[in-house]
């Protein structure tokens, strides 16, 4: 797969033909699940790539492989030109993971209920040697909390249960900054939050991207937030990236049938259901055929414009 | 079309009338008012949407309608009229009969509310036996028809829930909900756990079935875009109070309450024409 590659951009991560197969079941029920098939993309400094797809399409597996929670079966993942499978010593791996961090979907599950917010932020600062003394740590934690727009005085001594969902997600974000990550893999960071808070979190991530040049892989099923936050988008279906490129181009001129199906089903408040039913009925009738066709291995990629590509199947 | 429909129905009795409903939760020393003086109607054949954030009381209203609130929650005031009958003064037997035959409910995690050790056919049987006294063959026959209605092959009646996908299970629950031709179908975040394509497929079916059978729907979700698309009228809730009720189009184009306006502003638009519109409203507000 060729990738869009503006010459000025600085490529941090290159994923080439990454494949991951999980073995499940035992004995007669043994079978293989092809979670990822020949996935390729690049993460560029200061930009966000949105990975969009339905549940089970393999989006989260991508994040797990990038952090090396799992190992990929074949293909290459390069971080600044180095193969991540070659990070074998504890130190190399720790160094790599320091640079690439995750924010999870559930802010209620990703913080330890028995520790204060100060502890959550100070611990990575100490373990990664960013601070030496407690006084330094307190100061740095306060800076971090201010960065994510939380009141340092009031928040640092609190426990996770005393914070709202949005505040907890802000703490998770502060934690990735504390470690000193330059790449953040955000796996549905807003889907468990209330509608009115979602945009605030996205604005915060946007600020980090623009002001601190942070790089994001934004995993979501929400097309609208992907458009709001990410410059590039990749549409995944059944472990393959079927269409990718500039976000506005892909959303406004979808070429792959699955992307078209997906976008036709995104709720649009300006089109009533009766109208949408007529408009989208043809696509929906073909939904199963489209799904079946999109399952087939990709044989060719087509360039729609220099910033927008889509796949063709058998 | 929707307008003319609701006009002709204005003289008819609404399927559901809620008058000054209050629901309180008993706390250690005080009470927490979860639903505060809420009133609205749902006309026959209408899809009415309740929007709001988590904890604003929208699900509590749904539970109150089918009298499923458990202590410490209790209804502290108001009336709920279903086809003109006050459900709050009904005795237990009448309520048991009313549930499912007049009001049925589909929950957010409804697909997990199927019993994993019973086949789909058996899931229908209990309800048909209690309400209609059907025997096994009669119940299976009717269950087959209902599955067909929601687009599932009736020869899968003998399968167990785990053999179906999430979307299919949700459709089975909807089929069970429609089994007794209820007047009101309450759907509490029915498609939140599903991806958008499946969501669209299921809602299109509801949309078509409503036209065919004429039931009313109370649709609860936090997805304001989806709600505006599907519903005839929408009520917006904030901290237990119903702050705005209006036609879906008015809620979209002319939101009156500041909270409704704030809700719209916090939803990024997906498509070009909406982005342009959102920008326009935002600038209008800056100048106003």
SS (H, E, C) B91-128: CHHHHHHHHHHCEEEECCCHHHCCCCCCCHHHHHHHHH
**Sheet of strand A100-103: strand arrangement:** A100-103, A183-187, A215-220, A48-52, A232-237, A240-246, A308-313, A298-305
Reported as a single tens digit per residue, the pLDDT across A159-217 is 998 888 889 999 999 999 999 899 999 998 888 888 888 888 999 999 999 988 999 99
Say which of B54, B207, B274 has its CB closest to residue A268: B274
Which residues of B fall within a CB distance of 8 Å from A263? 270
Instruction: Give me the mean pLDDT over the B175-202 stretch.
Output: 85
Q: What token pair was written down for B133? A: 């006294």
Reported as a single tens digit per residue, the pLDDT across A215-234 is 999 999 888 899 999 999 99
d(Cα A254, Cα A249) in Å, to the nearest integer? 7
Say which of B222, B252, B270 has its CB closest to residue A224: B270
CA angle in degrees (0–180, nearest 5) for A210-A215-A133? 90
Q: What token pair was written down for A260? A: 């078209």
Which residues of A fall within a CB distance of 8 Å from B269? 224, 227
Reported as a single tens digit per residue, the pLDDT across B208-237 is 888 888 899 999 988 888 899 889 999 999
CB contact under 8 A, A277 and B270: no
Distance to chain B for A220, nearest Cα, Å: 11
Instruction: Calculate the alpha carbon distances from B158 to B140, B143, B252 in Å.
Output: 10, 11, 45
Smallest CA–CA distance from A226 into chain B, residue: B270
Say which of B197, B201, B229 has its CB closest to residue A262: B197
Of the ranges B55-59, B192-196, B241-245, which one carries the lowest mean pLDDT score? B192-196
Which residues of A fall within a CB distance of 8 Å from B203? 273
- Peptide bond preceding B13 in cis form (omega within 30 of 0): no
Burial class (CB in 10 A: 0-12, 13-18, 19+), A12: buried
Read off the pLDDT band of A54 (50, 70, 90).
confident
Reported as a single tens digit per residue, the pLDDT across B76-108 is 888 898 888 888 888 888 888 888 888 998 887
Distance to chain A for B108, nearest Cα, Å: 14
- Given this model, what pLDDT does residue A39 score? 92
Say which of A221, A261, A267 has its CB closest to residue B223: A267
| Interface mutation target, options B170, B205, B271, B280, chain A, most CBs of A under 10 Å | B271
CB contact under 8 A, B197 and A287: yes
């Amino acid at each position: 797969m060729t990738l869009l590659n503006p010459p000025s951009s600085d490529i941090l991560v290159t994923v080439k033909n990454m494949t991951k197969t999980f073995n499940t079941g035992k004995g007669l029920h043994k079978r293989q699940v092809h979670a990822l098939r020949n996935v390729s993309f690049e993460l560029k400094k200061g930009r966000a790539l949105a990975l969009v797809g339905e549940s089970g399409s393999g989006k989260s597996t991508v994040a797990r492989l990038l952090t090396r929670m799992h190992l990929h079966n074949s293909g290459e993942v390069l971080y600044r030109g180095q193969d991540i499978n070659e990070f074998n010593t504890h130190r190399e791996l720790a160094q790599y993971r320091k640079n690439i961090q995750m924010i999870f979907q559930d802010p209620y599950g990703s913080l330890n209920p028995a520790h204060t917010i100060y502890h959550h932020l100070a611990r990575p600062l100490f373990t990664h040697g960013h601070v030496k003394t407690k006084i330094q740590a307190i100061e740095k934690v306060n800076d971090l909390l201010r960065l994510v727009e939380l009141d340092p005085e009031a928040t640092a001594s609190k426990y996770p249960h005393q914070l709202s969902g949005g505040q907890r997600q802000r703490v998770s974000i502060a934690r990735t900054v504390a470690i000193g990550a330059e790449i953040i893999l955000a796996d549905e960071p807003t889907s468990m939050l209330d509608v009115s808070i979602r945009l605030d979190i996205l604005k915060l991530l946007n600020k980090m991207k623009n002001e601190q040049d942070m790089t994001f892989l934004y995993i979501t099923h929400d097309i609208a937030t992907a458009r709001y936050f990410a410059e590039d988008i990749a549409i995944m279906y059944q472990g393959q990236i079927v269409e990718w490129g500039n976000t506005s181009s892909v959303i406004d001129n979808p070429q792959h049938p699955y992307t078209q199906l997906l976008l036709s089903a995104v709720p649009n408040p300006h089109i009533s259901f009766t109208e949408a039913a007529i408009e989208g009925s043809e696509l929906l009738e073909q939904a199963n055929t489209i799904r079946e066709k999109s399952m087939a291995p990709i044989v060719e990629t087509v360039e729609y414009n220099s910033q927008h590509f889509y796949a063709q199947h058998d | 079309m929707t307008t003319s429909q609701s006009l002709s129905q204005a003289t008819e009795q609404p399927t559901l009338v809620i008058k000054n409903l209050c629901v309180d939760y008993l706390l250690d020393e005080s009470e927490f008012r979860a639903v505060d003086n809420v009133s609205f109607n749902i006309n026959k054949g209408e899809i009415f949407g309740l929007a709001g954030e988590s904890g604003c009381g929208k699900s509590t209203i749904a539970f109150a309608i089918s009298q499923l609130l458990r202590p410490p929650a209790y209804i502290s005031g108001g009336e709920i009229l279903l086809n003109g009958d006050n459900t709050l003064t009904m005795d237990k037997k009448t309520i048991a009969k009313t549930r499912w035959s007049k009001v049925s409910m589909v929950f957010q995690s409804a697909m997990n509310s199927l019993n994993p050790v019973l086949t789909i056919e058996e899931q229908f049987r209990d309800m048909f036996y209690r309400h209609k006294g059907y025997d096994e063959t009669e119940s299976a026959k009717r269950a087959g028809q209902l599955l067909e209605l929601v687009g599932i092959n009736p020869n899968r009646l003998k399968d167990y829930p785990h053999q179906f996908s999430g979307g299919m299970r949700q459709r089975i629950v909807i089929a069970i909900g429609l089994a007794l031709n209820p007047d009101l179908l309450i759907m509490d975040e029915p498609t939140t756990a599903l991806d958008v394509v499946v969501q669209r497929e299921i809602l299109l079916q509801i949309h078509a079935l409503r036209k065919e059978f004429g039931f009313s729907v109370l649709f609860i979700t936090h997805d304001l875009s989806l709600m505006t698309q599907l519903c005839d009228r929408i009520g917006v809730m904030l901290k237990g109070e119903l702050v705005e009720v209006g036609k879906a189009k008015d809620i979209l184009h002319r939101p009156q309450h500041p909270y409704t306006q704030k809700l719209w502003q916090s939803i990024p638009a997906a498509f070009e024409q909406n982005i342009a519109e959102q920008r326009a409203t935002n600038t209008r507000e800056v100048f106003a």
